[in-house]
Amino acid sequence: MDNPIVFNNVDHIYNAGSPFAVSALKNVNLSIPKGKITAIIGHTGSGKSTLIQHLNVLLRPTHGTVKINDVEITADSKNKNLKALRKQVSVVFQFPESQLFEETVLKDVMFGPLNFGVSEEEAERIAREKLSLVGLPENLYDRSPFDLSGGQMRRVAIAGVLALEPSVLVLDEPTAGLDPAGQKYMLEMFVNLHRQQNLTLVLVTHQMEDVALYADNVIVMENGTVVKTGEPLEIFKDEDKLETLQLSLPHSLQFFKDIDTQLDTTYIKETQPITVDQLADEIVKIKQSRTLKSEVSQNV
Amino acid sequence: MFDKLLLGRYLQGNSIIHELDPRTKLLGSFFFIVIVFLANHWLAYLLLAAFVFFVIKLSNISISYFLRGIRPMLWIIMFTVIFQMLFTVGGTVYFQLGPVTITSLGVINAIYIFMRLVLIIMMSTILTLTTAPLELTDGIEHLLRPLTRLGFPSHEVALMLSIALRYVPTLMDEAQKIMNAQRARGVEFDEGSFIDRVKAMVPILIPLFVSAFNRADEMAIAMEARGYRGGEGRTKYRQLKYSKIDAYALLILLLVTAALIAIRIFIG
């Protein structure tokens, strides 16, 4: 099971067979590697959200098969046997705070585990653990989720999904609408979970910085098809392609490119600093080689 | 889940029926529903069916659509029809078993009821399929305007109606989203006993209501910020205008009515 999720020629058509039919996925082939961070990018309407809903069988393919942990799902798969898969692959949807409904924060987080047959005490233990993981102060556990601030509600909702203890976690723009500190905290938390528990992460995002910083593997979508897969470096190399897809470079790479054009140098051909750390390293390297050169010329 | 629901959907197009003034369509449909009850002879029903068929042809929308629109209503229609058949007594008796009798009058009545329901549903489907929701509310506001003199808040009703219509798809999307999120947390909506299913609705309804309240709040603030102070003294961006085809439509409707009355008096 190197690839917990494999798509084989998957098509998805909404309202198939009616005049409102819309084809959202066309002949998608992909696999999500186990224990890695996979980023899915593509501009709005490229089929990312439809794709995500296939990952935990909220939608079934119209044609083709989706394999989740060696269970094959086709258009005819019966709903009954699929519930167990939703515990293995969990999704944090966009603006997940809209899923809160219980009287207290704690009860809302316990809701998921209880649905999957976990005992009450165990569910509460899990809930407390996940709530502290997302950084929610303990004095809020007995409050109504609707009394919390937007950022806190987001944390509760995410804790509610983490409480299912999935082996694959899918995040659909988990940080959209959070303040910069909250964004960083959340992403770091997911990445730490991934490192500590070998959790497979799937991250849908528009932030190329996050892709560059965290992803091992990138899937680029356009018009319902997968147009490219590869490591972030590979994806960002093909800049023209990114432009036609209405996607951008990470800021650090863009910065280097601007230096290239303004100073008429070719740094970008030699190196590809896609994160800020790599960028700093490159600048230090360039600086050192310059001082070295000037020392040499002085000595001569 | 809501894919199959055809009722109240709008199909863009540019047929003659699409271009009719919404007031004509509203009044016409209403009038049609009234005259359906005038019919009491098979000839009359034939005429009405032909008329509906003619309007469907004019609307350029395939007839399979309308048949599909009737499908969700089929149970209600059959229920009514069967009760009519069993409980109307009169004419020749075809079949008798204990208290259950099927008579010629019962069968005729059942067929009439069936025809009436189908024709009415078809006509209202034509109305909603060919009229954009906003046009519809404009039409309703216009038609209700005379009632303002009696103290009826026609502007407010029209405003509520247009906001409600505008938010039907948004709320449906939202419901679908919340449903997906809860399914991802292990809720099953199509499993278990009736009580289980009703309980499964709670995690959808509460977030849906909460978001509707929030949305209403934000919308009210946005409207005030844009200078909305109620209906008085407002001008209108969309102007309704009658044209020649509205007159033709009216003429055809009147002819059909005249024919129906003639059938009722001379044959029925």
Helix or strand run (H / E) with residue A90? strand A89-92
**What tokens were used for A292?**
């070295």
- Answer yes or no: is A8 within a domain: no
A223-250 average pLDDT score: 86
CA distance B188 to chain A (A): 8
A86: nearest CA in chain B?
Answer: B184
Confidence of residue B2 (pLDDT cuts 50, 70, 90): very low
**pLDDT for residue B5:** 52
In this complex, the residue of B183, B203, B207 whose CB is nearest that of residue A58 is: B183
- A206 and A277 assigned to the same domain: no
Q: Is A62 on the interface with B (CB under 8 A)?
A: no
Q: Do B202 and A101 touch (CB under 8 A)?
A: yes
- A221 and A111 assigned to the same domain: yes
- Answer yes or no: is A90 within a domain: yes
pLDDT at residue A80 tops 50: yes
Q: Is A83 on the interface with B (CB under 8 A)?
A: yes
Q: What is the mean pLDDT of chain B?
A: 85
CA distance A232 to chain B (A): 29
- A133 and A269 assigned to the same domain: no
Q: Do B178 and A98 touch (CB under 8 A)?
A: yes
* Between A92 and A22, the higher pLDDT residue: A92
pLDDT at residue A27 tops 60: yes
A239-267 average pLDDT score: 84
DSSP conformation class of A11: E
Partners of A53 on chain B (C-beta within 8 Å) are: 180
Partners of A80 on chain B (C-beta within 8 Å) are: 191
- A137 and A286 assigned to the same domain: no
- A277 and A216 assigned to the same domain: no
CA distance A204 to chain B (A): 16
- Answer yes or no: is A125 within a domain: yes
pLDDT at residue A20 tops 80: no
Query: HEC profile for chain B?
Result: CCCCCCCCCCCCCCCHHHHCCHHHHHHHHHHHHHHHCCCCCHHHHHHHHHHHHHHHHHHCCCHHHHHHHHHHHHHHHHHHHHHHHHHCCCCCEEEEECCEEEEHHHHHHHHHHHHHHHHHHHHHHHHHHHCCHHHHHHHHHHHHHHHHHHCCCHHHHHHHHHHHHHHHHHHHHHHHHHHHHHHHCCCCCCCCCHHHHHHHHHHHHHHHHHHHHHHHHHHHHHHHHCCCCCCCCCCCCCCCCCCHHHHHHHHHHHHHHHHHHHHHHHHC
In the block, tokens 């047929």 appear at B15
Confidence of residue A276 (pLDDT cuts 50, 70, 90): confident
- Answer yes or no: is A267 within a domain: yes
- A169 and A276 assigned to the same domain: no
Q: How many CB pairs under 8 A join A and B?
A: 63
How many structural domains comprise chain A?
2
CA distance B187 to chain A (A): 7
Q: Which amino acid is at B144?
A: L
Confidence of residue B103 (pLDDT cuts 50, 70, 90): confident
pLDDT at residue A99 tops 70: yes
Q: Select the residue from A91, A98, A114, A161 to test the B interface by mutation, using most B Cβ atoms within 10 A.
A: A98
pLDDT at residue A269 tops 70: yes
Prediction pTM value: 0.77
**pLDDT for residue A1:** 54
In this complex, the residue of A14, A80, A164 whose CB is nearest that of residue B185 is: A164
- A222 and A269 assigned to the same domain: no
- Answer yes or no: is A17 within a domain: no
A103-111 average pLDDT score: 95
> Is the Cβ–Cβ distance between B37 and B123 less than 8 Å?
no
CA distance B236 to chain A (A): 32
**pLDDT for residue B4:** 47
Confidence of residue B52 (pLDDT cuts 50, 70, 90): very high
Q: Do A80 and B191 touch (CB under 8 A)?
A: yes
Which residue among A236, A268, A290 closes a domain? Answer: A236
Q: Do A99 and B203 touch (CB under 8 A)?
A: yes
> Is the Cβ–Cβ distance between B59 and B13 less than 8 Å?
yes
Q: Residue B101 phi/psi, 5° resolution? A: -130, 140
- Answer yes or no: is A40 within a domain: yes
CA distance B259 to chain A (A): 36
Per-residue pLDDT tens for A29-51? 999 999 999 999 988 888 998 99
Q: Do A98 and B174 touch (CB under 8 A)?
A: yes
Helix A150-162 × helix A105-115 angle, to 10°: 20
- ipTM at complex level: 0.85
- A214 and A287 assigned to the same domain: no
Per-residue pLDDT tens for A179-230? 898 889 989 999 998 999 889 999 999 889 899 999 999 999 999 999 989 9
- A149 and A53 assigned to the same domain: yes
- A279 and A164 assigned to the same domain: no
Structural Rg of chain B based on CA atoms: 23
CA distance A208 to chain B (A): 26
- Answer yes or no: is A219 within a domain: yes
Q: Is B232 on the interface with A (CB under 8 A)?
A: no
Q: Is B76 on the interface with A (CB under 8 A)?
A: no
pLDDT at residue A57 tops 80: yes
- A166 and A264 assigned to the same domain: no
Which of B208, B181, B192, B199 shows the shortest CA–CA distance to A58? B181
* Between A265 and A113, the higher pLDDT residue: A113
**pLDDT for residue A226:** 92
A11-34 average pLDDT score: 86
- Answer yes or no: is A9 within a domain: no
Structural Rg of chain A based on CA atoms: 22
**What tokens were used for B218?**
């934000």
CA distance A164 to chain B (A): 7
d(CA A153, CA A173): 15
Range of the domain at A191: 33-61+80-236
Q: Virtual CA dihedral for A183, A189, A195, A198, nearest 10 degrees?
A: -100
Per-residue pLDDT tens for A62-75? 999 999 888 888 88
CATH number at residue A163: 3.40.50.300
Q: Select the residue from A60, A87, A101 to test the B interface by mutation, using most B Cβ atoms within 10 A.
A: A101
**pLDDT for residue A148:** 92
Partners of B182 on chain A (C-beta within 8 Å) are: 99
Partners of A86 on chain B (C-beta within 8 Å) are: 183-186
In chain A, residues 101-160 whose CB comes closer than 8 Å to chain B? 101, 111-112, 115-116, 146, 160
In this complex, the residue of A15, A53, A111 whose CB is nearest that of residue B185 is: A111
pLDDT at residue B101 tops 80: no
- A138 and A110 assigned to the same domain: yes
pLDDT at residue B262 tops 80: yes
Q: Is B88 on the interface with A (CB under 8 A)?
A: no
Q: What is the mean pLDDT of chain A?
A: 88
Partners of A162 on chain B (C-beta within 8 Å) are: none
pLDDT at residue B183 tops 60: yes
Per-residue pLDDT tens for A153-166? 999 999 999 999 99
